[in-house]
Amino acid sequence: GHEFAGIVEEVGSKVQGLSVGDKVYGLMPTIKAGAFAEWAAVPASILAPMPEGLSYTEATSIPLTALTAYQALDMMQVQAGKTIFISGGSGGFGAMAIPLAKARGLIVYTSGNAASRERVLALGADRYFDYRTEDYLQELKQVDYVIDSVGGAELSKQIKLLSSGGHIVSLNGMPNGRFARSFGLPKWKQWLLSLVGLSLDRQAKRVGATYDFLFVQANGSQLKRITELIEKLGIRPTISKVFTLEEANDALQSIDKSSSLGKTVLTLE
C-alpha cells in the first residue's frame, strides 16, 4: 500500500508543524510501502493536512494521482492558455489531472469511454474523445503538452499530436537517459536507460518535442498545495470500490480483474 490518510498519534522530537490529533494524508516514499496497516511510521516531510470536507476514504484516494499530475505539469513547465491532451481521462487519474490542469489555465483535451463523457466534461475537460469511435489524432493538431497514462502504441500516437517545442510526459512508457540522470543512477544504468528510451526520444525529436518519463515522488510540500487547490476548487476524487483491511487480497484481485473508473480504497471500519 502506498497512499494513506489518518490521525497523527505521535511525532518525533524535531518535527515541526505537526501535532498529535492532526488529520493528515500522504504517499509513502518510493522505496517503502506499508500503507496496508492500522499504524504506519512515516517521515513528516511526506505529510500534508487532509482537505477540509473530505472523508478519510476520499483523502486516501488522492495522493498518488494528484502528485503524479502535479509533478507532470511541473516537469513540463506548463503555461496558461496552452493546450494539453490527457489520455485515459475517464479513470481515477483523470479525475485529478483534469481539474489540476484547468487550475493552471490550460485548455484540456482527453479521451475515455463513451459512458464517462458527461462526467469527465463536468470535471472541466474542454473536449472529450471516445477512444472506440473517435480518433483524436485526426481531430487535434499542434498540442503543446501531453500526459500519457496508457503507454504502448498509444504513446507513439500521442507524440504525433505535439507541436514543435511541445512536451510529453509518460507514466507508462519507457524510462530514458534524462530520467536516469535525474535520479542520480550509476553511469552504467544511465547508459542502459538511454538505450531503452532512445526510440521514444527520437520519435519526440522528429516533431521538435521532448519526451520524459515520470516516476512519482512523495512530497508533502506539493501535497499541501494540492490540498489548497482541492479546497478552493471543490475537487472530489472518483472512488470505485471500498474494502476493509481484512479484505485486502479481495481488493487486489478486484483491481487485477476489472478496468476501474476510480480508486479502490481499504478502510479500517
Name the percent of the chain lying above pLDDT 90.
78
Residue range 85-105: average pLDDT? 94
CATH homologous superfamily of domain 64-213? NAD(P)-binding Rossmann-like Domain (3.40.50.720)
Q: Is the pLDDT assigned to residue 237 strictly greater than 90? A: no
| Residue 28 burial class via C-beta count within 10 angstroms: exposed 0-12, middle 13-18, buried 19 and up | buried
Instruction: Spell out the domain ranges in the chain.
Output: 3-61+218-267, 64-213
Rounded Cα–Cα distance for residues 167 and 209 (Å): 5
What would the pLDDT profile of 165-186 be if each residue is shown by its tens digit? Answer: 999 999 999 999 999 999 899 9
Please tell me the class of the 3-61+218-267 domain: alpha beta
CB-based contacts of 111: which residues, under 8 Å, 6+ apart?
Answer: 85, 87, 88, 89, 90, 128, 129, 130, 131, 134, 136
Place of cell 479513470: 91
What would the pLDDT profile of 37-71 be if each residue is shown by its tens digit? Answer: 899 999 999 999 999 999 999 999 999 999 999 99
DSSP label at residue 149: S
Residue range 205-227: average pLDDT? 97
Q: Whole-number mean pLDDT of the chain?
A: 93
The angle at the Cα of 5, spanning 16 to 258, to the nearest 5 degrees, equals 150
Rounded Cα–Cα distance for residues 53 and 75 (Å): 30
* pLDDT score for 260: 63
What would the pLDDT profile of 4-31 be if each residue is shown by its tens digit? Answer: 999 999 999 999 999 999 999 999 997 7
* pLDDT score for 259: 64
| Band of pLDDT at residue 213, cut at 50, 70 and 90 | very high
The pTM assigned to this predicted structure is 0.92
SS3 184: coil
